[in-house]
Amino acid sequence: MIIKIIGSSAGGGFPQWNCNGPQSRAVRRGEAAFSRRTQSSIAVSANGTDWALFNASPDIGEQIAATPALQPGTDGPLRASPIKAVLVTNGDIDHIAGLLTLREKQAFSLYGARPVLETLAANPIFDALDAELVARRELSLGRAIELEGPDGALGLTIEPYAVPGKIPLYLEDVGRNPADFMSDEGDAIGLAITDRETSATAHYIPGCAAIDDQLRARLESAELVLFDGTLFTDTEMPDQGLGPKTGKRMGHISISGADGTLAALDGLDIKRRIFVHINNSNPILDERSSERKTVEDAGWAIGFDGMEISL
């Protein structure tokens, strides 16, 4: 199984178009300690030919342009794409807006849990993805299924599971409105992605508000975990004057702290741990920072655009 991190940033990207914070300025200037990052997505393939995208970011056009494996083959028909399936882990704009870029009458399967499929169905702009060609396939939490493209199975099994998370920002105060906008009913999901032939398994959890015993148990003995690396500290955005919201309010666990990700997953037998969905405020983006060193010393890698993992 090949996993390509095609977008390692959180919503907004790095640099974020309207951000003049010190890190966005530094990457815009081309400082060596910083790398540009596009928004949250990975591509996975069992055979190296057919690909599934996990999340469709607003930067998907740029991501496909940077990734030859996701482009039509040079000897392919006039309309072609190796992207056979797209799975969205929640309804956040950084995870679904790229679907609109895939509207040119190309067949693929579109997977999501019920809340996000309902959101897509309720927004007629997504009808641009012709249902005749882009079959919506609902994921049931806790039920493993084989991913299928229009021409058959992709050799990947996925098991979706609910993680503590938040409803999308644009659905706050409209419609269904859980307490504090938090949800553990599939508004945010994690995925175990397994290569059917080799049984190699990766966990992909780009958005998560908390790590409980159930999630810890699930991740024990994992070969690879790609995990929500949005913030280093809960108050990082207000501290930097970038906005009023804490990580808790945004539904993102922090990397540091007593109940942060480093501490919560410490001691588990996980072979590779990689942070993805990293916000432009996060000091781990600076390769010289002490926070970066803390994270690396704890056995974590910092995902980057173009990072490829073979399992």
CB 166 within 8 A of CB 188: yes
Query: Which one of 16, 19, 54, 92 is in contact with ligand MLT (CB under 6 A)?
Result: 92
Cα separation, 281 vs 17, whole angstroms: 13
Phi and psi at residue 115, to the nearest 5°:
-60, -45
Residue 2 or 100 with smaller CB distance to ligand MLT: 100
> Least distance in Å: CB of 252 to ligand MLT?
6
Residue 50 or 94 with smaller CB distance to Mn ion: 94
> Least distance in Å: CB of 85 to Mn ion?
21
Q: By CB under 5 A, how many residues form the interface with Mn ion? A: 3
279 SS3 class: coil
Segment 149 to 178, residues that bind ligand MLT, using CB under 6 A: 169
> Least distance in Å: CB of 277 to ligand MLT?
7
Could you say whether residue 13 binds Mn ion (CB under 5 A)?
A: no
CB 229 within 8 A of CB 236: no
Residue with nearest beta carbon to ligand MLT: 11
> Least distance in Å: CB of 197 to ligand MLT?
33
Burial of 79 (0-12, 13-18, 19+ CB in 10 A): exposed
Segment 198 to 257, residues that bind ligand MLT, using CB under 6 A: 207, 250
Residue 137 or 249 with smaller CB distance to ligand MLT: 249
Query: Which one of 5, 8, 9, 11 is in contact with Mn ion (CB under 5 A)?
Result: 11
247 SS3 class: helix
DSSP at 42 = E
Contacted by 210, from Mn ion, ligand MLT, none: CB < 5 to 8 Å by type = none
CB atoms within 10 A of CB 222: 18
Residue 28 or 248 with smaller CB distance to ligand MLT: 248
Helices (H), the chain: 22-29, 60-65, 93-96, 114-122, 213-219, 236-239, 247-250, 261-265, 290-297
Residue 38 or 157 with smaller CB distance to ligand MLT: 38
Contact footprint for ligand MLT (CB under 6 A): 10-11, 92-94, 169, 207, 250
